[in-house]
Chain A
C-alpha cells in the first residue's frame, strides 16, 4: 500500500496516528450510548494503515542496517588481515560469545557495563532472524481493563519484543559489528557517517517527544493486543507480515478480549 503522505496537511507520523487511534478506541468505551461499532471499525482501519507504514519503515531501516553490516563485515575482514588501525577494545563485551544480539533484546539484562549510556528502544524484528529466535521469548502486554502490565513468556511478537523491553536493551549490533559498535557509546570514535546517520534517523523516529520511550513501548504493547482483533484486516496485509501475525494471533488469545469488546 502506497500512502500518499505528500497529501497530508499535518505531520502524519505513523506513530502519532497509532496513538491517536488507540486513544479513540479507549475513550469510546466510556462514551454514552455504548461502543459505536462503525466508528471503531473505521478507527481500526486507520490503525492498520498506520501500523503497516510503521512496520514498513522499520523494515526498511533494518534492511539498510543489514546492508551496512554486510559492508562492515567485509571491511573488518579486510581489517583483520591488515591490523594497522586497531579499534577500541570492548572490555567486558569481548568476553561475550559471538552471539548476534539482534534478536536478543527482550527481557534480558542489559549488557551495558557501567558507564554505557542506555540506548533508546531499538527496533528489531525477531521474525527476521529465525535462526536466532531462541533469545526472544518474552512479551509484555497491557490489559486495558485492569491496566496491568504482564510479561508473557510463551510466544513472541515481532515488532514489540524489543520495544517492550527496558530501554537498556543492548543495541542490536552483531558480534561482528561490535568492533565498530564502540561508536554507539563513544560518539567521538570514528565512524562512517552512514551508520551514524542511520542510527540518528531511527532515533528520531522512535523519539518523537520528550518522553517517547515509555510511549513507544506502551503503544507497541497496545498494538500487539489489538493486532489480534479484527484479524480480517490482518489477513489482507503483506505476506511478510502474515508470518508474524499468525504467531501474534497464536499467542494472544485472551488478551484480545481487552480490545475486542463487541
Chain B
C-alpha cells in the first residue's frame, strides 16, 4: 500500500445508517456489493430491503470527493414467508446481492433470501410523455367526438425517478438455505447454492433449473459436511468452485459431466495436529470463497484466517494471513456466545494485490500480498470526521498493554464486521458494521 512512508492510508468518507445504539433487527446489514463499474453500491438487510447508493458524478473528477455515494434507490426485495408444509417461517433477510454486467440503460441485480432468488431491474426515468390525443393531462379519457385535431406527444424532462421492478422470480428450487448466488461470465446463466446442492439457472427461465452438485447423503444421519459458498470463475464460463464446512474447496468443470459431484480439483490443507481442539471443525469451516479478478487465485476465509490458493496447487494455500489469532485461546467463550459461528466475508481489491476482511470490535483487516504488510483499521463514529485519516489499530495479546493498544478482553464481540466490499477499479471500500455502512477512500496527497 503506497503512500507516505510506503503505507497506504485510508480516510473516512461517509457513513450511512442510523446513529442510535439501539439497533433495529431489520436494519442489520447482511450483504454489500459494488457493481462492475463501482458506480453503484448495493446493500441488503435483515428486513429484506435493498438500498442502492450511487457515486456522485460531479465529484468523480475531484479526487478527494470521489467516494461520495448517495441513495439512488430503495426497495423491498423479499418479504417474510411461511412454508405451510413444513411449518417454517422463511426469513426475508437478503443473503446475497450480485450485479449483472450492464447491457443497456437499466441495471440488473440478483438478490436472494434463504429460498427465493429475484432478478431486479433498476431503471431511471427522467422524461415523461405529454400531449396525448385521447387522454387529458390528468389521465381522464377524452370524448372522441370532441377531438378535432391530432398532435404528436412529446417527451418532456422530469425529476429523476429510479424504479425497481422484479423481472424474474426463481423459486422452489432449494430445500435448504441458499448461501450463494454467482453470475456466470457468459451473462446467461447463474448458480445458486444451498447447504447441500448447487443449481444452475438461465436468467431468462424461472420455472426450471439444473442441479449440478448434490452432496446430500442417502441417509441424512451420515452427513458430515455442507456447502458454505460457491462462485463461478470470472473468465471461464465452465468452471466454478464451492467451499465446504470441512475447510475444503472443490473446483468443478461443467464440461466433464452434467452432474459435477466429482470435482476436478480438491484444495485442502492438512490440519496442524498441535492446534487440535474441541472446536477444530468449527474454525476450519470456510465462510466465504472468492476468485481473484484475474481468475488465477481463490481466497477463502475461515474463522481465524484468510488463505490464498493458487488454482494450480491443491495441497496447500500459497499464502495464509492470520486475521485474529489471539482469539484461538478464547474459542470456548466464543462458542458459548455463538460468535464462533459468525460468517466473515473477504474481498480482493481491483488488481488483486490487497485482500480485506472483517473482525470484531468493528475492526477490519487488510493484507497486502506482495509487501507482506497488514493493517488493522476501525470503523467507528469517533473517527468519522470528513477525510479523517484512520489510525492503525493494534490488539494487545498479552503482557503489557501499550498506549493506544486494546486488550483482547476489551474487544466488543457484538460489534462485528462481516461484510466488506472493494471498488473494482479504485481504492474506495465499503465496510458494514451491524447497521451502518462506512465508506472509506485512500488518502489523496
**Which residues does A use to contact B, with CB under 8 Å?**
1-4, 7-10, 12, 17, 20, 24, 32-34, 36-39, 41-42, 45-46, 49-50, 53, 228-233, 256, 260, 262
Q: What is the bound-complex CA distance between A10 and B329, given in angstroms? A: 9
Q: Pick from A8, A17, A33, A262: contact of B220, CB below 8 A.
A: A262
Given contacts A45-B282, A229-B221, 8 further A-B contacts (CB under 8 A): A3-B276, A4-B277, A10-B332, A33-B89, A39-B341, A41-B226, A46-B279, A231-B222
Task: Determine whether B275 belongs to the interface, using a CB cutoff of 8 Å to chain A.
Answer: yes
Contacts of B328 in A (CB 8 A): 7
Residues A7 and B329 in contact, CB atoms below 8 Å apart: yes
CB contact under 8 A between A230 and B282, given known A3-B277, A8-B277, A38-B195: no
Min Cβ gap A224→B in Å is 15
Min Cβ gap A16→B in Å is 9
Min Cβ gap A215→B in Å is 17
Contacts of B196 in A (CB 8 A): 37
Residues B282 and A42 in contact, CB atoms below 8 Å apart: yes
Residues B276 and A4 in contact, CB atoms below 8 Å apart: yes
Residues B333 and A10 in contact, CB atoms below 8 Å apart: yes
Task: Determine whether B331 belongs to the interface, using a CB cutoff of 8 Å to chain A.
Answer: yes
Cβ contacts A to B, 16 pairs, < 8 Å: A2-B276, A3-B276, A7-B277, A8-B278, A8-B331, A8-B332, A10-B336, A12-B332, A34-B89, A34-B177, A42-B282, A45-B282, A46-B335, A231-B221, A231-B222, A232-B222
Task: Determine whether B402 belongs to the interface, using a CB cutoff of 8 Å to chain A.
Answer: no
Residues A42 and B341 in contact, CB atoms below 8 Å apart: yes
Residues B278 and A3 in contact, CB atoms below 8 Å apart: yes
Q: For chain B, residues 85 to 103, give those with C-beta under 8 angstroms from any C-beta of chain A.
A: 86, 88-91, 93
Task: Determine whether B435 belongs to the interface, using a CB cutoff of 8 Å to chain A.
Answer: no
Task: Determine whether B245 belongs to the interface, using a CB cutoff of 8 Å to chain A.
Answer: yes
Which of A34, A228, A232 has the most chain B CB within a 10 Å cutoff? A34
Min Cβ gap A55→B in Å is 14
Min Cβ gap A11→B in Å is 8
Contacts of B341 in A (CB 8 A): 39, 42
Contacts of B90 in A (CB 8 A): 33-34
CB contact under 8 A between A37 and B195, given known A42-B282, A260-B221: yes
Residues B245 and A41 in contact, CB atoms below 8 Å apart: yes
Residues A1 and B226 in contact, CB atoms below 8 Å apart: no
Contacts of A33 in B (CB 8 A): 88-91, 93, 114, 177
Contacts of A2 in B (CB 8 A): 273, 276
Residues B91 and A9 in contact, CB atoms below 8 Å apart: no
**Which residues does B use to contact A, with CB under 8 Å?**
83, 86, 88-91, 93, 114, 176-177, 195-196, 217, 219-226, 228, 245, 273-282, 285, 328-333, 335-336, 338, 341
Min Cβ gap B30→A in Å is 12
Min Cβ gap B93→A in Å is 8
B179's closest neighbor in chain A, by CB?
A38
Q: What is the bound-complex CA distance between A228 and B220, given in angstroms? A: 11
Contacts of B333 in A (CB 8 A): 9-10
Residues A17 and B278 in contact, CB atoms below 8 Å apart: yes
Residues B223 and A41 in contact, CB atoms below 8 Å apart: yes
Residues B228 and A42 in contact, CB atoms below 8 Å apart: no
Contacts of A42 in B (CB 8 A): 245, 281-282, 285, 341
Which of A2, A49, A256 has the most chain B CB within a 10 Å cutoff? A49
B87's closest neighbor in chain A, by CB?
A34
CB contact under 8 A between A232 and B224, given known A3-B276, A8-B332, A10-B333: yes
Min Cβ gap A20→B in Å is 6
Q: Pick from B86, B220, B281: contact of A260, CB below 8 A.
A: B220
Residues A9 and B332 in contact, CB atoms below 8 Å apart: yes
Q: What is the bound-complex CA distance between A231 and B275, given in angstroms? A: 25
Q: What is the bound-complex CA distance between A10 and B409, given in angstroms? A: 13
Contacts of B331 in A (CB 8 A): 8-9
Contacts of A10 in B (CB 8 A): 332-333, 336
Min Cβ gap A134→B in Å is 30
Contacts of A228 in B (CB 8 A): 221
Residues B281 and A45 in contact, CB atoms below 8 Å apart: yes
Q: What is the bound-complex CA distance between A231 and B217, given in angstroms? A: 12
A233's closest neighbor in chain B, by CB?
B224
CB contact under 8 A between A32 and B91, given known A10-B333, A41-B226: yes
Contacts of A4 in B (CB 8 A): 274-277
Q: What is the bound-complex CA distance between A262 and B338, given in angstroms? A: 21
B338's closest neighbor in chain A, by CB?
A24
Contacts of A32 in B (CB 8 A): 89, 91
Contacts of B86 in A (CB 8 A): 34
Contacts of A232 in B (CB 8 A): 217, 221-224
3 closest A-B pairs by beta carbon, nearest first, are A45-B281, A232-B222, A33-B91
